[in-house]
Amino acid sequence: MPAIQVLKKKLRGIQSTQKISKAMKTISSIKISQLTTVYNNYNEYGKQCEKLYEEYKSDLLGALPPMNETASVCYIVITSNKGLCGGFNSDLLKFANEEIQNSKNEHILIAIGKQAITYFNNKHIEYENSFIFNDIPDYSEALLLLNYVIELRKSQKISSVKVIYQKYSNMMKQTPCVQELFCDNDIQPGESKTLLMPDKQMVIENVAPVIFQSIFYKLLLEVALGANASTLMTMRSAYDTATEYCEQLESEINRQRQSAVTADVLETASEFTE
């Protein structure tokens, strides 16, 4: 049976873990609240951008520089900046590794997030470029990423763009997925009843960057929401486990202390009896 001093040392260690997990749980809750506000404010605007994209997909893609069909596939891997979020990053990176290895085409990588950068560096995997964005993404960061991808198109370095990220469903569920962007295969130009002023070409040229920026921004928001939700659930579980373990240790310490007191009382009583 462990001595009381050993149990007290374990208790202090668990209490430190409890405090850290509680603090991180609180921080994640605050970030989730902030991200939810940002996402809700953006959501209606994002839906309108998606609607325009579906309506004018052929024209919008035509406003971008053409891609080289024989060039490499561009994979954009988006992770969080921090760990301690369960399997959020590890599951995504495993999925990304399998997706890239199963690809028969040449590829280049863009790493987004400190966890992706660290993973590729540790595995000695070369990547074209890397970005570290805020935990609560800014709209301008999506433009930075879009401009870089457009430069790759201009230089004829890529044939397609595929984003690998954790798709946010709810607080409990994020699913690794791959989404191909700027896909212009089998696009049938449709007729639109929307009147564009002063003329269609001018409107499309000015609207296209905004539409594609909104697509990137939605992806960044989903990853941020998923990462913080995963962190919150992980820290909540760690806090609950630490709390339960602390209660068990305190109970064991009190039991041993009571046993020691009882033994002392019995020993003293036996001395008087003699």
pLDDT at 272: 58
Along the 274 residues of the chain, how does pLDDT read in single tens digits? Answer: 567 788 888 888 888 888 988 888 888 889 889 998 998 899 889 988 988 888 888 888 888 888 888 899 999 999 999 887 878 999 999 999 999 988 888 999 999 999 999 999 999 999 999 999 998 999 999 999 999 999 999 999 999 999 999 998 888 888 999 999 887 654 455 555 565 667 777 888 888 899 999 999 999 999 999 998 998 888 888 888 988 988 888 888 888 888 777 776 666 666 655 5
- Cβ atoms of 197 and 203 within 8 Å: the answer is yes
β-partners of residue 163 are 76, 179
Question: 105: closest CA among 151, 148, 67, 74?
Answer: 74
Please list, in sequence order, all residues whose beta carbon lies within 8 angstroms of the beta carbon of residue 84, skipping any fewer than 6 positions away. Answer: 24, 231, 234, 235
- Cβ atoms of 150 and 65 within 8 Å: the answer is yes
Question: 107: closest CA among 157, 148, 155, 179?
Answer: 157
147's tokens: 């401009």
Question: Could you give all domains of the chain from N- to C-terminal order, each with its CATH number?
Answer: 23-183+194-231 (3.40.1380.10)
Estimate to the nearest angstrom the gap between the alpha carbon of 127 and the chain centroid. 19
37's tokens: 């506000």
Q: How many CB atoms lie within 10 A of CB 118?
A: 15
pLDDT at 265: 64
